Amino acid sequence: MAGLREDAQWIVLMGFLVSFSLFFLATILDQSVMVGQTTAEAVSEFPKDDIREIRSAIIESYTMPDHAAVQNDITVLALSRQNAIVTFSASSVGPYTLISIHYNNGVTAYNETWRSP
Amino acid sequence: MVNTEGQLFTIEGVAAALIMLATAYIVVNATSVYTPGDTHINDMQLETLGCDALTIMNTPQNTSVQSPLQSMVENRDGNAFRQMYTSLLNNRTETGQDNVQFLANVSYVRSDGKTVNSTTALSMTRPLLAGEHAVRVTDLVIINTTKNYPADCRPATCPSGACNRTVLVEVYVWRG
Amino acid sequence: MQQLGCRLQCRDNGSGNLSLDFLAGFTIFIIAFIWVATMIPGLFINVNANSVDYNAVAYRTGVILAEDPGTTGPVPGFPCYGHSTASGTGWESLPNKCDIARFGLAVSKNTPNILDTNKVIRFFCWTVSTVPGDLGNFSYPADYQERAVFGDYPYRFNISLRSAGQNQVLSVGDILPAGDYGYIRRDVLIKGSSNTTIDAGVRGLNNTDNVTYNQFSLELNQAELQEGVSGFPHQIDYPAYQIDPGSDSIMINITNLTGTLVHPTLIPSSCNLVGITFYEQLSGTSYLTNITTAITAYNLTINDTYVQTSLPATVNNSVSLAFRPGAFSAAENLDPAAPIFINLTFALNPPQQYLNNTGRQPFDYNYNPAQVTQPQLQSGVLEVAVW
């Protein structure tokens, strides 16, 4: 049997080099797919329309004389169907009405103080 | 006569070739083909569309009338809702309609002021079949009377139901 | 023995001999390498680094157009020299595109998905130039890329808008490709413009004196149009329903003028529209300031025929004034809360009664739906495709 010869190790090393580069490229390729997905997830996760609806419902409710039931409905529906805590209150400063709105769905928190024009 | 001389490079070459081929095989099998259905992009597009359509329906023509959605929800007019919502979902700039389905129901707060009833159906194009993937869009609507809704939503302070209330319209939207 | 050892070592002596063993091994290796090297790039054919975010770019452009009112000011990195813009001006009325930082079609930032007609027309009709030298024209794709699509990669795109009431599709950009592209569809409402049709016969807008010159005046009370008036709701909260003389198009149709004659069978020998004058009652004054020379952007149509504004002109049955968007901006700049009066002067021979409200209230162009057709919100579809 020939003694241990190391002269041909370079062939195997070249083979390994090619393999590792293939693995590296495959990893990059796999990660690239996630880019598009996470962008879309970020868009879906931010409750833009929820906040807009709740905000306009709250402001509209303060224009009604009997707003207690309407506002209770908003709070209960937001909590049970949209998993969001909504609290709000109104005050008067001069001729303006100030409504402060707080929304939190566990991931996104939104605070606003709305002033009537 | 047969000995091991002359096998050095051959063995190494064969070994290197096998390593590369095995890696190539693993790589090709491991990376998934990018199909739009696997990601959330379709969901985002459907959700945007569904929310836009509800917003449009909830915008009145002027400040002294109700929005179409308000009157449809007050009167529980499923046909009118279906007609308007379907056209808003499926109209395109070019000729030809898209094929988006929906299923809508209304959630309201019961008379105890704490629990929610979310099983009141409003309208649908067809039932949601098992295996179909839908997104959910919602809109809050303030209505003037709940007389068309079951009695369990009227509080003691307003037994006739002719008081302002807020309800949530929930729509499941899917392609197919 | 010496020869045996040489067989193993001969290859190292530079004589140029390669053993068969080496050739065989190396050949196997090279064949495998070539095969892998030609197969692996096939994995990457369908992956374009820029294609994974076409949908994201389309969504962003859709939001910018449908939910944002646009911004004035120079594009960052491209300063405008030599001119400045008045604050509060909508980007659609700026003649020089250098002053437009970002497009946006929404009426205001509080009215997402409600589009302004003037902005839509300016955005899509990009061959309409309002100044010499084509400084107002937008070129595809560069100007739209800098102001709506953004990004370093030169995306190609197509933005289309169809209004429910019209068959025509407004469109900017390339034809859609056969393959994959990023796409978003937005439902929108397009705010129309207001107009009024005054039936001169029915409304009893006559005077009682037989005079040669009869003046009929209309009023655009800017303060009322901004804030609403009792009986008609508080408008300042609702830009989607507002009538804004400074930037909306306003149309006034007066019909059935023969019905205003007391003796409709006794047609006067001549009935001419001799003048259209504009006045504004500035705050703190009790007189009217003549602003006729400042207001010129309107089309005058008499008897259903468009005329150049060469008065006097004979009037039979109808007069129509179509004010283009921004026609009253000069008046708005002078005083944004002052009422604007539009006076039409008719000359009749022989002198007789006619359409005349001198001494009475001018016709109020306001939010009363019985008097003025309010701006309608028409539904539409906006589609953005990016590739």
Domain residue ranges in chain A: 1-45, 48-115
Residue B158 has pLDDT above 50, yes or no: yes
**Are A32 and C33 a contacting pair at CB < 8 A?**
no
* DSSP code for A46: S
Choose among B44, B142, B158: nearest Cβ to A43.
B44
Chains that touch B (3 or more CB pairs under 8 A): A, C
Closest-approach residue (CA) in chain C for A55: C110
With beta carbons under 8 A apart, name residues in chain B contacting A5: 8
**Are C188 and B56 a contacting pair at CB < 8 A?**
yes
**ipTM for this model:** 0.80
Helices (H), chain A: 9-45, 48-61, 68-82
With beta carbons under 8 A apart, name residues in chain B contacting A45: none
What token pair was written down for C204?
């009893």
Residue bearing the bigger pLDDT, B38 or C183 = C183
Q: Residue B103: what pLDDT?
A: 94
**Are A23 and B20 a contacting pair at CB < 8 A?**
no
Within 13 Å, how many C-alpha atoms sit on residue C280's CB side?
Answer: 21
Note down pLDDT in tens along chain C; length 387 residues: 444 555 554 445 567 777 788 888 888 888 988 988 888 777 766 665 566 678 889 999 999 999 999 988 776 666 666 565 555 567 887 777 778 889 999 998 889 999 998 899 889 886 555 555 556 678 888 889 888 998 888 899 999 999 987 778 999 999 999 988 999 999 999 998 889 998 887 766 777 777 888 889 999 988 888 887 766 666 667 888 888 888 888 999 998 887 777 766 666 777 888 888 999 988 888 888 888 888 888 888 887 777 765 778 888 888 899 998 888 888 888 888 889 999 999 888 878 888 888 888 889 998 888 888 988 899 999 999 999
* DSSP code for B32: P
**Maximum mean pLDDT: which of B5-9, B92-96, C338-342:** C338-342
What token pair was written down for C17?
């001999």
Q: Residue B32: what pLDDT?
A: 62
**Are A40 and B40 a contacting pair at CB < 8 A?**
yes
Q: Decide: C69 and C88 in contact? Cβ < 8 Å.
A: no
* DSSP code for C217: E
Please name the amino acid found at residue C94: L
DSSP strand E in chain C: where? 71-72, 100-102, 114-116, 157-163, 169-173, 182-191, 194-199, 211-221, 250-255, 270-280, 289-290, 298-302, 305-307, 313-314, 319-323, 339-352, 363-364, 377-386
Q: Residue C10: what pLDDT?
A: 47
Residue bearing the bigger pLDDT, C215 or B6 = C215
Taking the CA of residue C47 and the nearest CA in chain B, the distance in Å comes to 8
pLDDT bin (cut points 50, 70, 90) of residue B176 is: confident
- Chains A and C form CB pairs within 8 A to the count of 42
Strand order in the sheet with C319-323: C194-199, C250-255, C319-323, C298-302, C305-307
- Chains A and B form CB pairs within 8 A to the count of 137
Taking the CA of residue B94 and the nearest CA in chain A, the distance in Å comes to 26
Is B163 part of the contact surface with chain A (CB cutoff 8 Å)?
yes
With beta carbons under 8 A apart, name residues in chain A contacting B21: none
How high is the mean pLDDT in each 10-residue block of chain A (117 residues)?
68 87 83 68 88 92 87 93 94 91 93 89
Q: Residue C134: what pLDDT?
A: 56
Once rounded to an integer, what is the mean pLDDT over residues B50-69? 91
Taking the CA of residue C196 and the nearest CA in chain B, the distance in Å comes to 17
Q: Measure the CA–CA gap between C188 and C163, rounded to whole angstroms.
A: 9
**Are A40 and C56 a contacting pair at CB < 8 A?**
yes
3-state SS class at C291: coil
Once rounded to an integer, what is the mean pLDDT over residues B115-123? 86
3-state SS class at B20: helix
What token pair was written down for C119?
């902005």
**Are A11 and C29 a contacting pair at CB < 8 A?**
yes
The full set of domain ranges for chain B reads: 40-175
